[in-house]
Each structure stands twice: as structure tokens, then as C-alpha cells.
Structure 1
């Protein structure tokens, strides 16, 4: 239900009800009622919540979408192979506990690896002459 999703998203961001309510410009009591599924937000507030958490309204409303092309996405084989490694699987599970700063740092590291690989390929290509 909506309230359960909202509660989970708030906890994942390590926010109190007061902090989230302030960020959304709503009262803490309204947020509490949303999380306990005793009240539903209006459309404007719903959009504000979805934007804040960067999720779709379908996700926020805990709605399963029917057969659409986005549900037909198949995980590429190379990713499936990588995910068989228990250390990699554990690392991915840790993503939900990372701060925004840590996730950005991870992205920078991955980009650096890509740049190093590109430079290696380029140097191998110039050494062949």
C-alpha cells in the first residue's frame, strides 16, 4: 500500500517524519496519516513525493503494471554472470544503505576504471605500429 512504500522510502533516506514533512512542505501529522494508510495525499502532494524520491507514481502507489514493453526487459547475460558472485551480490545489497555521496563516489570509481581501460586499449593500438 502507498503508506508502506512511503514509510520504506523515508527510512531508506534516513529521514524522520519531521524532516520529510518539512522537505515536502506538509505537516508531520499528515505524513504520519499517509504512512499509516489512514489518509491519502492529493495529486499535487503525490507528485511532490514521487519527485522527491525520484520514483514513478506507479511505484509510489505500489501498482503492478500490466504487460508492457518495459516489463519485458531481460537482464543481459554478462550481468547475470557477475551477479552469481556472492561478493558482488552483497555489494549490490549494500547500495540501499549508501548515502548519496557514497553512491556518487562509486560512480566516479566506475568511470575511472572505464577511462583506464580506454587508455590501455589506446596504448595497445599505438604500440602495434
Structure 2
């Protein structure tokens, strides 16, 4: 699942705020958040720029801070269950605090 809702809530934006700041209609954005619709590549880029994150990160990928490799975790796996990058064994991912 993508991180659109998580990023919006972290910035304390409403759907109306997103529409005003990006020009993406609130219903369309809501469909992106819920996974009912997939944004076009140009829209992914616009949203990544808006939230100041990479496209793989906003799409929900785990991104290694060392090798920059990325992968999509299994649906039933939570971040805390992933001990390290499967490529370089680094334990830290983009977005970790």
C-alpha cells in the first residue's frame, strides 16, 4: 500500500488542503490513498516533490539508506519485522527515525 495517507496525516493536511496545494481533486486523491486508482507517473512525481520524498518511498517500497535498493514488503509484514535490507544487510530504511 502507498504512503499517501500517512504523509498527508503527518503534515496535518486535509483532503481540501491537498486539492488547494497540488491541484489534485480531493476525490481523486482519496482514490489514490485507498488504492482504488493508480496515479500516472507524472502525478507520482508531483506528489513525491510535494512531500519531498522519493517515488519508490511514496509508493510504499522499503528503501535501504545504504545501497538505495528497494523492495515491496509482503502484505502481512510490518516494518518492525524487517530486520535488514535483503541486498546489503543494512538495518536502516528511508523514513526510519
- Alpha-carbon distance between aligned partners in 2 of 1:17 and 1:8, rounded to the nearest angstrom: 13
Pick aligned residue for 2:24 from 12, 23, 26 = 26
Counterpart position of 1:124: none
Structure 1 residues 41, 74: CA separation in 2 closer, same or farther (over 3 Å shift)? closer
How many pairs were matched up? Answer: 73
Structure 1 residues 65 and 28, CA, compared in 2 at 3 Å: closer, same or farther?
A: same
TM-score (norm 2): 0.64
Say which one has the larger Rg.
1
What is the Cα-based RMSD across aligned positions, in Å? 2.4
CA deviation vs aligned residue, 1:29-71 (integer Å, no higher than 9, x gap): 10111111100111111101000111011101112358x6346
Contact kept in structure 1, 2:32 and 2:38, CA below 8 Å? yes
Unaligned regions of 5+ residues in structure 2, if any? Answer: 69-84
Contact between 2:45 and 2:55, CA under 8 Å: does it hold in 1? Answer: yes
Q: Output one character per residue of 1:71-111: Cα deviation in whole Å (capped at 9) or x when no partner.
A: 65688xxxxxxxxxxxxxxxxx7xxxxxxxxxxxxxxxxxx
Q: Given the alignment, which residue of 46, 58, 61 partners 2:59?
A: 61
Q: Distance in 1 between matches of 2:40 and 2:27?
A: 15
Greater share of helix: 1
Q: Which runs of 5+ in 1 are unaligned?
A: 76-92, 94-129
Which one has the bigger strand percentage?
2
Runs of 4+ residues deviating >6 angstroms = none
- Taking structure 1 as the reference length, the TM-score comes to 0.49
